[in-house]
Amino acid sequence: MAAVEDGGRAPGCLCVLCGLPAAGKSSLGLTLLSTAAQLGWRATVLPYDDLIPGKAFHPRVEEEEEDGAMHTEWKSHRQAVLQCIELFLKTPDVSAELPSGRQIKAAAWERCVRVLLRPEGPVVPSQADRAPLLFLLDDNFYYQSMRYEVFQLARKYSLGFCQVYLHCDVESCISRNQRRPEPVPTEVILEMGKRLEPPNPQKNSWETQSISLHTTDNLSKLDIQRVTELISSALRNPLSPLEDNTEQKEADRLKCATSVVHQADQACRRLISEAMRTARENRVSSEQMRSLASQLNESKATFLRRLREQLLQDPSFSQEEDVERVVKSAVDVFDREKKEILLKIMYDHR
């Protein structure tokens, strides 16, 4: 495929490979590298698991929160990957070596960038900077807000953008994962499966360039062809930095929904802590305390997931001033659920 010049710069594409752990993203990425080389594209896979330091995956317990809420530093490291991509887009010749302070592994990043600066295959070295540029982002991307950040970067630099969702049932992912040298904890896959938000082109106009592959079985040649055609289309149709009104409203709604869910999460954690203190003061047994914590956290996860879905489906929700009101109304609903669970535990204790 010939490079299509745009202001003297070769076309580029950010392709998101998303799905549960062990759904087959890494295998697909390697296959696409081979295909890209045959087409004369400069391509690299950005495996987030390799780029981000292991400590970012380790949850930490917030001391103030008695429900044992777990958090990670994953978000800031994920954003650091996008910042490094942006740095490459601005200054490809000098961005192979990361400046100090970056939150990703320098050696892993250098390996990713090296294949772009010195591509293999039919690309003529003297014309390498004119060859189409393809970044394959290999991560779970289970929330649409995670993928939207990639879309924003593609739009900022007038790149193509597309998504490949690898749909594999949870049981198969767990089975494959257990055969890995360093498997992801099963509970992480189960929780991610509950929260996963597949691309939805019907609802989100920015997700139009998306396809879904069923990967419970091996990928076929037709599957690879579909992905290649998707990327080719994205390269031919780069995004415009200008936003239309519809897209801006969609972006505002996503931003507000994320803010509401975050604030509601914090408020729910405080309510759970209060419930745990009440149960402890009433000398509830250790076994019942564990049951209470489990029920409350499961209830919170379900509540937040439904809240997020509801907000994203409401086209009128896109104003910042709605956030405080919606948070209070939503948290009142969870507060009632919390009281019912606590009362049942207290009743059983007696």
* Residue range 176-221, pLDDT digits in tens: 999 999 898 999 999 899 889 999 999 888 999 999 999 988 899 9
Give the torsion sign (CA, 336, 340, 345, 346): positive
Dihedrals φ, ψ of 129, to 5°? -75, -5
Single-letter amino acid code for the residue at 221: K
Q: What's CA 66's distance to the chain center, in Å?
A: 28
Structure tokens given for 301:
């996860």
> What distance in Å separates the CA atoms of residue 95 and residue 107, rounded to the nearest whole number?
12
- Give the per-residue pLDDT at 223: 95
Which parts of 140-285 fold into alpha helices (H)? 144-156, 170-178, 186-195, 221-236, 245-281
Please report the domains of the chain, with CATH numbers, ordered by start residue: 12-236 (3.40.50.300), 245-349 (no CATH)
Strands 70-71 and 12-18: unpaired
Report how far residue 136's alpha carbon sits from residue 128's, in angstroms, rounded to the nearest whole number: 18
Give CA–CA dist 129/274, Å, rounded: 59
Residues 6+ apart with CB under 8 A from 302: none
3-state secondary structure of 119: coil
Q: How many C-alpha atoms does 17 have within 13 Å on its Cβ side?
A: 28
Would you state the pLDDT for residue 151?
Answer: 95
C-beta separation of 18 from 163 below 8 A: yes
In this prediction, residue 238 carries a pLDDT of 95
Look at residue 66 in the predicted model and tell me its pLDDT.
37
Total count of residues recorded for the chain: 350
Residue ranges for the chain with pLDDT beneath 50? 1-7, 59-71, 320-321
The pLDDT, as a whole number, for residue 239 is 93
Rounded distance between C-alpha atoms, residue 128 and residue 133, angstroms: 9
Report d(CA 118, CA 43) in Å as an integer.
10
pLDDT for the residue numbered 60: 42
